[in-house]
Structure 1
């Protein structure tokens, strides 16, 4: 069971990170995705034991293509990038599956 579509009231544009080139990061073609967006500042501890600030959190369908470092345009037009991408699944349980994206 996926997160219900009626909860995904916002639209974001995701440009999936494709790697670095001699000219900087490269991205795949932009895709518009239904999502639930919370623009809230919070501090997180990264895997390198450093503190990073998140300014937006996105909940979307479990099958979106959004690797870390992807470029994301939020509903208000602000462009940010994905810091942490977490896929939430619970096979066999009656809870919705989703992808959570923490943005800088």
Structure 2
């Protein structure tokens, strides 16, 4: 099992950031071993929290920084699997749905 990382983004330029982020949501253009698991955008699209499975913190940091460019400031870190838990929140789909 690969390690899980969390990525948070604070989007500075709404329209460009949303367009750039669509590739992250769809898992398009990701390097080998990098796979988005969960995506939680803010209602106003000024930020997002994502959960990734990938080979290293550096791999996901590089991927999101390259994809989002200057549209956002990104923070990535390894999740402490021993302390983490999850439950599928009600009302949230299992697969990505891109809406403007």
TM superposition score category, shorter chain reference: 0.3 to 0.5
Q: Kindly indicate which of the two structures has a greater share of residues assigned to helix.
A: 2
TM-score of the superposition, structure 2-length normalised?
A: 0.34
Give the structure with the higher percent strand. 1
Q: Which has the higher contact order (CA 8 A, sep 6+)?
A: 2
Question: Normalising by the residue count of structure 1, what TM-score does the alignment of the two structures yield?
Answer: 0.33
